[in-house]
Amino acid sequence: MIKNIKDKHVYLFLMSFSIWLSFSLLFIGNWELSAEFTVLGWMYSGAFVLSILFMKNQFSLKMIILFFLLFEIILFSYNEFSGHFSSIVIGHGSDEARYHIPHALNLNSFSERVEYAFSTHIQNGRFTHILLSLYISLIQGFSETLVTGGDIYKISFIFNVLISVVTIITTYKAAMIYYGNISLARRSVWFLALNPIFIGMAGAAKKEPILFFAISLFILFIVKGGWKNAYLLVFSSFIIILDRMYTLPVLIMTYIFYRKISIKKIFLIMVMVLFLIEIAIGFERLIYKYNGHVSGMISIGGSLLPGHNLFYDLIRVVFGPSFTRGFSQDVVGLSLGGSLLTITLYPMMYYKAFFFQKGLSKSILFLFLFVLFLIPFQSTFKILMITILGAFFLEHISFVKYNYNEKLQQLGKPKHKDNATMLIIENINNDATKN
């Protein structure tokens, strides 16, 4: 039993079986969601959670990407065969159709996109809207017919999944530098790539796939360090400021404490970030938008928790949205399945974050405190952040332990990066020899 629970193939079978059986049931039932389908979503998430806690041997990066693409193909097929794509009406329904796509349709030229990037009337999603507008232009270049919401969602799904693959590779590269251990790096990308939250968001025509990509670049900058890699900081920060500005404080605090950088460098970073914020939206409008966002989120109904105080906010942050609002069935049942993930792994991370604060582990604590005191009602932000930041926290919650070089967390000096590179090569060779 102990041996089986550590066997990677057991978890792959359970997760794949739940996906394929779900697809088969939907096909037999004329693509109608059922209670059985929801249960299978929980089965996937349960197997995934157990794999994080107990799976010893890890799949290679190529295999993980293959599994991810396979599951996304199944998800795309469901959306196509069920008529979900064709049912998308621009201006109505989900955030994609009601908010993101309409804004993208208004951007038809290079000058309009540049002007939109530096406008202040839209706070969130500007980079995503520009990217969607490019997808729309691509469709229009091959078709003279009217572009529908389904057309836009299809091409967005394909390109955003490809961007998500780059996110997975970037995260793997960052994990290899950070840990210097191939098993830890593989577990990190397994956690990200096959996470029900990530799978459900990877192809969506909204800002989450782009934010995952930008955050992975920022993390890579954190572990690499050095101003020769500042392009990673600038590019990722630019995307984040345009799409979801309040992501930056958690990442910047992680960088500052992780690198133990000088006051001079902290000042330069803050000046750069403040400059980007000012030209992107302006501080006065930022404060106004934040206050409006808080009022809007509080006014939304459906919460099982009354009021807005520290006690209820603590419950929201630790367990939400699982215990704090009801769920309706969604396209693939991954929200319900993902709630199990939230219930089991994420609160565990918050608890452990108070005791393990080395390296990137600090990011979880910063995230917890930031959400608790500023935006406890913003579940999507919290789930997105902990889904990718949690990939670097797994050694504190998993029952499977690997050895990695503590020197990789001694930061700020070029020689450490050289040592890290040599250690990575050594681990790859050792892993290849064993397998």
What pLDDT does 139 receive? 87
Residue 432 lies in a domain: no
Residue 376 lies in a domain: yes
Residue 48 lies in a domain: yes
| C-alpha gyration radius of the chain | 22
- Number of compact structural domains in the chain: 1
8 A C-beta contact, residue 196 and residue 48: yes
Residue 286 lies in a domain: yes
CA–CA dist 169, 196 (Å, integer): 18
The candidate with the shortest Cα–Cα distance to 160, out of 69, 238, 239, is 69
Q: Is the peptide bond before 209 cis (omega within 30 degrees of 0)?
A: no
Q: What's the pLDDT tens digit per position in 27-76?
A: 777 766 656 666 777 788 888 999 999 998 999 999 999 999 999 998 89
Contacts of 217 (CB under 8 A, 6+ apart): 170, 232, 235, 236
Residue 228 lies in a domain: yes
Q: What's the pLDDT tens digit per position in 170-225?
A: 999 999 999 888 999 999 999 999 998 899 899 999 999 999 999 999 999 999 87
The candidate with the shortest Cα–Cα distance to 253, out of 269, 231, 238, is 269
Measuring CA to CA, how many Å separate 48 from each of 54, 123, 195?
Answer: 10, 35, 7
How is 352-382 classified by DSSP, letter by letter?
A: HHTT--SGGGHHHHHHHHHHHHT-TT-HHHH
Q: What's the pLDDT tens digit per position in 78-133?
A: 888 888 888 888 888 778 888 898 999 989 888 999 988 888 777 788 999 999 99
Give the mean pLDDT of 9-22.
Answer: 85
| Residue 248 structural domain | 2-396
CA–CA dist 425, 407 (Å, integer): 16
Residue 22 lies in a domain: yes
Residue 194 lies in a domain: yes
Residue 363 lies in a domain: yes
Q: Phi and psi for 109 in degrees, rounded to 5?
A: -140, 165
Q: Chain-wide mean pLDDT for the chain?
A: 80
pLDDT at 407 over 50: no
- The span from the first CA to the last CA of the chain, in angstroms, equals 23
Annotate 380-407 with b (16+ C-beta within 10 A) or e (fewer): bbbbbbbbbbbbbbbbbbbebebebbee
pTM of the full predicted structure?
A: 0.84
8 A C-beta contact, residue 224 and residue 183: no
DSSP 226: S
